[in-house]
């Protein structure tokens, strides 16, 4: 198993030496409208950092769209196309087609969408571009609810989570949609999950995605302090705890069949993760156990699949 960011000597995990941060700093990313501590902008800057200037962003309604700026201003250092909420995958496919037809095949088309646009309203179109294996890098920054519209549940909201549409007494009763399995079922060349707390893991995955062609999908956890009812300072801490507690394991799926855990989650920090967030305040002890058991089960599946690489893994088969 990949050693992950923790070396044996226990040196700082996120001590990533950014050799090429000029790209983001030479352009003016300042002044964006994201809430203090927003994870989305941390993710975006590091992704752009790897992708470089030959990138076009396609972005639906959502936090990223709203916080990018207001006409006639924008923080984006690369061409940025706003599209309707449900249109990201198709519009990205159109941009791809248009660029290819204009001799710009080398340009990366980055679909940059939240969980609402991805897990819910854009799911049909997403499935379509996955099935067609469009040459797009689709990245979902998942803040686990409709945050921009005021914290409504999405199908990415975790079991037991509070939102304005799953209020106290009617907390979300369904587990988070397994987007990795959905993408794997389409046998896309590359799926990976990522967390802003593990930047070297993240940037390696973005670099890998950039190297490949076809539909590449990154599922990134994006801490949202106001939506998660957490202290803005805890964003990265939460992004780390989510991984360690196995609620958001870091893994890759290659060609839909080959699973690889890229970080060994210790399993610790589950309670702390919930405690630091008001959105889990109303969960009963029983619900917590259900959530944790679900996370552990999923992680065990990943571990099994990881270990079984080399043999044939049958899609959809339960280990």
Partner 1 sequence: MRQVISGNEAASLAVKLARVQVISAYPITPQTTIAEKLSEICGSGELAARFVRVESEHSAMSTLIGAASTGVRTFTATSAQGLALMHEPLFWASGARLPIVMVDVNRAMAAPWTIWCDQTDSVAQRDTGWLQFYCWSNQEIIDTVICAFKIAEKLLVPCMVCYDGFFISHTYEPVEIPEQKDVDEFLPPRNAEYKLDTENPHTFSGGTLPNYFMEFRYKLQRAFERAPEVIARVYGEYVQCFDRTYDSVESYAADDADAVLVASGSAASTVWHTVKALRDQGRKVGLLRIRQLRPFPAAELAAKIHPPQRIGVLDRNLSPGTGGVFTQEVRAALHRDGHTGRIHEFIAGLGGRDITMNNIIDIYDRLEQKTANASAINWVGLNP
Partner 2 sequence: MPELAVSSGSMSWNKTGSWRSSTPLHIDKTPPCNFNCPAGENIRGYIDLLKHYQTAEAFELLTSANPLPAVCGRVCFHPCQAHCNRHGFDLAIQVRLLEKFIGDWGLEQAPTKPLPQTSGRKVAVIGAGPAGLAAAYYLRRKGVAVTMYDDHALPGGILEYGIPAYRLEKDVLQAELTRVLTGIEFHPGMKFGRDFDIGALVEYDAVFLATGAHQSKRLHIEGENIPGVESGLGFLQQLNSGEKIDVQSHNVLVIGGGNTACDVARSAYRLGAHVTLLYRRTEREMPAFAEEIEQLRAEPIHCEFLVAPERITRAENGTLTLTAIRMKLGEPDESGRARPVAIEGSQFTLIADRIFAAIGEDPDVSFFPNAQQHDDGEFDFSGVDARLAGKLFVGGDLLPNPRTVPHAVGSGRLAAEKILAQLRGEPLVAHDCVVEVAGPEDINYRYFTRINAVKWQTGLAAGGALSEQSAHAEAERCFSCGVCSKCDNCFNFCPDLAVIKSAGGYQVNLEYCKGCGICAAECPGGSLRMRQQ
The full DSSP string for 74-127 is ---SS-EEE--TT-HHHHHHHHHHHHHHTT-TTSEEEEEEEHIIIIIITHHHHH
> Do residues 144 and 161 make contact, with C-beta atoms less than 8 angstroms apart?
yes
In whole angstroms, what is the distance from residue 244 CA to residue 275 CA? 15
Using CB under 8 A as the binding rule, whether residue 48 contacts partner 1 is answered as no
Locate 171 and state its tokens: 């907390």
- Answer with the entry of partner 1, partner 2, none that 225 interacts with (C-beta below 5 to 8 A by kind): partner 2
Q: Nearer to partner 2 by C-beta: 6 or 289?
A: 6
Q: How many CB atoms lie within 10 A of CB 125?
A: 19
In whole angstroms, what is the distance from residue 218 CA to residue 183 CA? 10
In whole angstroms, what is the distance from residue 194 CA to residue 32 CA? 23
Is 120 exposed, middle or buried, given 0-12, 13-18 or 19+ CB atoms closer than 10 A? middle
Using CB under 8 A as the binding rule, whether residue 235 contacts partner 2 is answered as yes
Q: Nearer to partner 2 by C-beta: 76 or 166?
A: 76
Single out the segment in contact with partner 2 by CB under 8 A; choices: 67-75, 90-98, 115-123, 304-312.
67-75
- Answer with the entry of partner 1, partner 2, none that 199 interacts with (C-beta below 5 to 8 A by kind): partner 2
Q: Exactly one of 25, 26, 53, 289 binds partner 1 (CB under 8 A); which one?
A: 53
Using CB under 8 A as the binding rule, whether residue 124 contacts partner 1 is answered as yes
Using CB under 8 A as the binding rule, whether residue 9 contacts partner 2 is answered as yes
Supply the minimum distance, in Å, between the C-beta of residue 134 and partner 1.
Answer: 8
Dihedral sign (CA 309, 311, 314, 317):
negative
Using CB under 8 A as the binding rule, whether residue 276 contacts partner 2 is answered as no
Using CB under 8 A as the binding rule, whether residue 22 contacts partner 1 is answered as no
In angstroms, how far apart are the furthest CA atoms of the chain?
58
> Do residues 92 and 84 make contact, with C-beta atoms less than 8 angstroms apart?
no
Q: Exactly one of 66, 181, 182, 212 binds partner 1 (CB under 8 A); which one?
A: 66
In whole angstroms, what is the distance from residue 273 CA to residue 220 CA? 17
- Answer with the entry of partner 1, partner 2, none that 255 interacts with (C-beta below 5 to 8 A by kind): none
The residues in 244-303 that bind partner 1, with binding defined as CB under 8 A, are none
The full DSSP string for 208-226 is HHHHS-S-EEEEEE---HH
Quick note: the x/- pattern for partner 1 over 178-207, rule CB under 8 A, is ------------------------------
What phi, psi does 160 have (nearest 5°)?
80, 0
Q: Nearer to partner 1 by C-beta: 82 or 258?
A: 82
Single out the segment in contact with partner 1 by CB under 8 A; choices: 72-80, 190-198, 215-223, 245-253.
72-80
Residue closest to 209 by CA, chosen among 182, 193, 190: 190
The residues in 76-95 that bind partner 1, with binding defined as CB under 8 A, are 76-84, 86-87, 89-95
The residues in 23-52 that bind partner 2, with binding defined as CB under 8 A, are 24-25, 27-34, 36-42, 45-46
Kindly list the residues in this chain that would bind partner 2 in the complex (CB under 8 A): 6-18, 21, 24-25, 27-34, 36-42, 45-46, 69, 71-76, 80, 196, 199, 225, 231-237, 240
Kindly list the residues in this chain that would bind partner 1 in the complex (CB under 8 A): 53-56, 58, 65-66, 68-74, 76-84, 86-87, 89-102, 104, 107, 124-125, 127-128, 132
């Amino acid at each position: 198993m990949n050693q992950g960011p923790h070396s044996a000597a226990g040196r700082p995990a996120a001590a990533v030496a950014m050799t090429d941060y000029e790209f983001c700093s030479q352009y003016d990313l300042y002044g964006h409208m994201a809430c203090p501590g927003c994870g989305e902008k941390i993710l975006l800057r590091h992704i752009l950092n790897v992708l470089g200037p030959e990138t076009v962003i396609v972005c639906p309604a959502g936090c990223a769209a709203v916080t990018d700026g207001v006409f006639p201003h924008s923080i984006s250092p690369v061409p940025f196309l706003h599209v309707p909420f449900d249109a990201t995958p198709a519009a990205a496919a159109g941009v791809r087609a248009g660029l290819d037809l204009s001799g710009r095949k080398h340009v990366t088309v980055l679909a940059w969408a939240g969980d609402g646009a991805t897990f819910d309203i854009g799911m049909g179109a997403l499935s379509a571009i996955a099935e067609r294996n469009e040459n797009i890098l689709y990245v979902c920054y998942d803040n686990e609810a409709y945050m921009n519209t005021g914290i409504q549940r999405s199908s990415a909201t975790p079991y037991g989570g509070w939102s304005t549409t799953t209020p106290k007494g009617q907390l979300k009763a369904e587990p988070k949609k397994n987007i990795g399995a959905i993408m794997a079922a389409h046998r896309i060349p590359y799926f990976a999950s990522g967390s802003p707390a593990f930047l070297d893991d993240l940037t390696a995955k973005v670099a890998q995605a950039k190297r490949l062609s076809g539909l590449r999908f990154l599922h990134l956890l994006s801490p949202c302090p106001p939506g998660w009812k957490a202290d803005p300072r805890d964003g990265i801490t939460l992004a780390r705890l989510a991984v360690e507690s196995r609620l958001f394991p870091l893994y890759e799926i290659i060609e839909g069949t080959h699973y690889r855990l890229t970080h060994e989650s210790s399993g610790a920090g589950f309670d702390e993760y919930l405690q630091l967030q008001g959105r889990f305040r109303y969960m009963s002890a029983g619900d917590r156990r259900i959530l944790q058991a679900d996370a552990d089960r999923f992680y065990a599946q990943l571990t099994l699949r990881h270990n079984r690489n080399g043999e044939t893994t049958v899609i959809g088969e339960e280990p």
